[in-house]
Amino acid sequence: MSTACFSIRRVGRTALACASLLLMTACATRQAPTYDYTAFKASRPKSILVLPPVNNTPDVMATPAVLAQVTLPLAESGYYVMPVTLVAETFKENGLSLPPEMHAVMPAKLQQIFGADAALYLTVTRYGASYAVLDSAAVVSVSARLVDLRSGQALWSGSASASNNEGGGGNQGGIVGLLVAAVVKQILNSVTDASFPVAGMASQRLLSARPGGLLYGPRSPRYGTD
Amino acid sequence: MIKHIAACAAGVALSACVQAPKSLYGWGSYQGQVYEHLKGTSGPEQQITALEADLQRLRAVGAAPPPGYHAHLGLLYAALGKDDAALRELQTEKHLFPESAHYIDFLLSKSVKSAQGEPSKEKTQP
């Protein structure tokens, strides 16, 4: 009798473990939708021009923080990235100082000046500390569109978010402790530029070559394997 | 037993591969410097000092500077009016990354034109 009970409990536990495993895989699949890479594979860009990101948030630091951290994931994925500071300077010298104006320039004109194979259009949709009753986190969300500059054709698009509160948990000290910790964290998040590393995480997530994301570029040893 | 250990070792080696793929470039403080530059919170001298020091460290470990590193140095030297150093850095970028040739040539032809024709514009970057 007792052994029967025990085995039922065991089966239950195994089923639970299986269910949670399934749930996790389901999440992972949702994160990586299959994407139609026909145009991307035909284009095979070597160099990418990253336009300064359009900022749809109230925080003026969103554009510099994201722009400063897009080179790493793209370059490590095998692409040449047009020098971001020089590119911003060239736009300014040509009378364009706001990202939406830069994004409105025709692809052919961008190709003529920068000679890049593709352009990456970024929009920051969330940036900075958000105070939510029990917790506070720096959250950054960015969306991206990669366009072939010779044909004007869209090659890929995607979006990603990151937070410095991921996997956080195990708080102690009751409800008051939680509230105090949240307020302290909010203050810390705004004065120490806590969003900057979070922007780096979002950018890595969005622009590192992976299934569903960008393909590897010609400077990567994994070029042509995906 | 030995077979088990070997399997374990292979597993560990594999997971090590997955966790730490070899990076193509050495980054030093490059992206942080670019952030300071874009925010306007750090002047060209400070950035040049940091980036040149990083470059020495990168060379010492045999790491390659990433795309844009030398081009950004070129921009900083140009902001200080050090045209020779700026030219050298831009040409290094072009040499390391032929993908940049079209753009670097565009920049150089423009600066030659402005040196010959109308008075050159002062850089407004701090």
> What pLDDT score does B115 carry?
62
Q: Sort residue B36 into left (φ over 0), alpha (ψ -120 to 50) or beta.
A: alpha
**Predicted confidence (pLDDT) at residue B70 exceeds the cutoff of 90:** yes
**Predicted confidence (pLDDT) at residue A172 exceeds the cutoff of 60:** no
Assess if residue A225 is contained within a domain.
no
Instruction: Judge if ipTM > 0.85.
Output: no
Q: A97 and A20, same structural domain?
A: no
Per-position DSSP letters for B61-121, written without gaps between them:
TTPPPPTTHHHHHHHHHHHTT-HHHHHHHHHHHHHH-GGGHHHHHHHHHHHHHHHHSSPPP
CATH 1.25.40.10 corresponds to the domain B24-116: yes
Mean pLDDT of chain A: 82
Assess if residue A10 is contained within a domain.
yes
**Predicted confidence (pLDDT) at residue B110 exceeds the cutoff of 50:** yes
> What pLDDT score does A166 carry?
73
Q: A185 and A110, same structural domain?
A: yes
> Which tokens belong to A1?
């009798």
Mean pLDDT of B76-92: 97
Instruction: For residue A169, name the pLDDT band (cuts at 50, 70, 90).
Output: very low
In angstroms, the CA A82 to CA B100 distance is: 7
Mean pLDDT of A126-131: 80
Q: Which of residues 64-123 of B touch A (CB under 8 A)?
A: 66-68, 71-72, 74-75, 93, 97, 99-103, 106-107, 121
**Predicted confidence (pLDDT) at residue A61 exceeds the cutoff of 50:** yes
Report how far apart the first and last C-alpha atoms of chain A are (Å, whole number).
55
Answer whether A81 sits within 8 Å of B67, measured CB to CB. yes
In angstroms, the CA A5 to CA A1 distance is: 6
Q: A59 and A27, same structural domain?
A: no
Q: State the angle between helix axes of B30-39 and B69-79 in degrees (0 to 180), rounded to the nearest 10.
A: 40
Q: A115 and A42, same structural domain?
A: yes
Residues 6+ apart with CB under 8 A from A97: A91
Instruction: For residue A192, name the pLDDT band (cuts at 50, 70, 90).
Output: low
In angstroms, the CA A40 to CA A48 distance is: 13
Of the listed ranges A25-39, A41-55, A60-74, B35-49, the least confidently predicted one is A25-39
Residue A201, H or E segment = helix A195-207
Answer whether A86 sits within 8 Å of B97, measured CB to CB. no
> What pLDDT score does B42 carry?
87
**Predicted confidence (pLDDT) at residue B2 exceeds the cutoff of 80:** no
Assess if residue A144 is contained within a domain.
yes
Q: A51 and A14, same structural domain?
A: no
**H helices present in A44-194, as ranges:** 62-67, 71-76, 84-93, 99-103, 107-114, 174-191
Answer whether B25 sits within 8 Å of A46, measured CB to CB. no
Q: A67 and A7, same structural domain?
A: no
Of B25, B34, B75, the CB nearest to A68: B34
> What pLDDT score does A55 carry?
97
Phi, psi (deg, nearest 5) at residue B120: -65, 140
Q: Which residues of A touch B63 (CB under 8 A)?
A: none
Assess if residue A219 is contained within a domain.
no
Per-position DSSP letters for A140-161, written without gaps between them:
EEEEEEEEETTT--EEEEEEEE
Answer whether B67 sits within 8 Å of A80, measured CB to CB. yes
> Total structural domains in chain A?
2
For residues A135 and A212, the model is more confident at: A212
For residues B17 and A52, the model is more confident at: A52
Which amino acid is residue A142, in one-letter code? Answer: V
In angstroms, the CA B86 to CA B79 distance is: 9
Mean pLDDT of B87-91: 98
For residues A8 and A108, the model is more confident at: A108
**Predicted confidence (pLDDT) at residue A88 exceeds the cutoff of 70:** yes
Q: A95 and A176, same structural domain?
A: yes
Which structural domain range is residue A5 located in?
1-31
CATH code: domain of residue A118? 3.40.50.10610
Mean pLDDT of chain B: 82
Of A46, A71, A220, the CB nearest to B68: A71
Q: A23 and A84, same structural domain?
A: no
> What pLDDT score does B13 carry?
44
Strands A54-55 and A47-50: unpaired
